[in-house]
Amino acid sequence: MRETYAAPLPGMNLAEMSGKLIVIEGTDGVGRSTQIRLLRPWLEQQGRAVLDTAIKRSELAGKGIQQAKEGHTLGRITLSLFYATDFADRLEHEIVPALRAGFVVLTDRYIYSLIARAIVRGADPRWIRNAYGFALKPDATFYLRIGVDDLIPRVVFSRGFDYWESGMDIHPSEDMYDSFRKYQTELLTEFDNLANEYNFEVIDATPDPRTVFEHLRAGVARVLRGEPREPLFSVVAPPAEPVDAATHKVLEMPAPAKPSTTDQAESAAEDQALTIAVEGDASR
């Protein structure tokens, strides 16, 4: 039987959800989409049905949130509740039915990003956690972790700084760079707190996409095999840079086995998929 963090949505039956709910978390521009574009075909090649979903994709609230952000028409509390509405709609109409049908649900961000953003904007941490109490506990949350110094070039060389991702609503400044650095530093601290609290599986997002994917894929494969997280992964100190680093964990994956001929063929297919994924992003 699935569990929720607090009371489920009224009428939601938590039984018979044989699928897997896998969360990919991480800050703006860290590489979540790139990884999901790699994970999805890899899962489908194994005959798994996959649903991928992300914030703002609900029929009910997706467009409204976009418009509200463009017009800056909502206050911080109402915007948080609008996001919660989007999440509730996708939970009820996409995620739960897909889990019931045995899908692997890959979700690009989950309640944690929404909690982190709200807290950085001054929301009461208890209130915002309670607001998402109806969320299903996922089978695993993989947190792509990066420090702000590694994040900045990644964002600059892809799409540049964006108003909301730079926290311009809370740190209005002439200089978007300063604003981005300040806001993202606060956000990363909050993510690190949540990583501890919700027991995220932390993946170092600083290497190239292929290396990140190998780590992520090993973690997802383990979840699909239904194996427990420990003791497969040793826990080591995280990369030096981000805030509050000493208290957080990074997974060190076992070295990949020597590739067989089949592995090499798969690897060639993945290389191609990777090129498509990364190029696809560069054109954004």
Ligand X SMILES: Nc1ncnc2c1ncn2[C@@H]1O[C@H](COP(=O)(O)OP(=O)(O)OP(=O)(O)O)[C@@H](O)[C@H]1O
By the criterion CB under 6 A, which residues form the site for ligand X?
26, 28-34, 154, 158, 208-209, 212, 278, 281-282
CB of residue 124 vs Mg ion: minimum separation in angstroms? 28
Under the binding rule (CB under 5 A), the answer on residue 56 touching Mg ion is no
Residues sharing a CB contact under 8 Å with residue 33, sequence separation 6 or more, in sequence order: 108, 281
Residue number with the shortest CB distance to Mg ion?
33
Under the binding rule (CB under 5 A), the answer on residue 164 touching Mg ion is no
CB of residue 120 vs ligand X: minimum separation in angstroms? 15
- Cα angle 221, 226, 228 (rounded to 5 degrees) comes to 95
Residue 114 contact, options ligand X, Mg ion, none, Cβ 5-8 Å cut-off depending on partner type: none
Please give the DSSP secondary-structure letter assigned to residue 240. S
What does the block give as tokens for 80? 């948080």
Residue 107 contact, options ligand X, Mg ion, none, Cβ 5-8 Å cut-off depending on partner type: none
Closer to Mg ion by CB, 4 or 33: give it. 33
Residue 242 contact, options Mg ion, ligand X, none, Cβ 5-8 Å cut-off depending on partner type: none
The backbone region for 179, taken as left when phi is positive above 0, alpha when psi lies in -120 to 50, beta otherwise, is alpha
CB of residue 143 vs ligand X: minimum separation in angstroms? 12
d(CA 269, CA 263): 10
Query: What residues are paired with 144 via a beta bridge?
Result: 26, 203
Closer to ligand X by CB, 134 or 200: give it. 200
According to DSSP H, which parts of the chain are helical?
32-45, 62-71, 76-90, 96-100, 111-120, 125-131, 148-156, 176-197, 209-225, 261-282
CB of residue 32 vs Mg ion: minimum separation in angstroms? 5
Closer to Mg ion by CB, 113 or 134: give it. 113
Under the binding rule (CB under 5 A), the answer on residue 33 touching Mg ion is yes
Residue 124 contact, options Mg ion, ligand X, none, Cβ 5-8 Å cut-off depending on partner type: none
CB of residue 158 vs ligand X: minimum separation in angstroms? 3
d(CA 61, CA 93): 13
C-alpha distances in angstroms, 194 versus 1, 127, 148, 201, 225? 24, 15, 17, 11, 26
Residue 154 contact, options ligand X, Mg ion, none, Cβ 5-8 Å cut-off depending on partner type: ligand X
Element (H, E) at 25: strand 20-26
Which amino acid, residue 21?
L
CB of residue 209 vs ligand X: minimum separation in angstroms? 4
Choose the stretch contacting Mg ion; rule: CB under 5 A; options: 27-35, 85-93, 118-126, 172-180.
27-35
Residue keyed to tokens 């427990």: 228
Residue 166 contact, options Mg ion, ligand X, none, Cβ 5-8 Å cut-off depending on partner type: none
What residues make contact with Mg ion under the rule CB under 5 A? 33
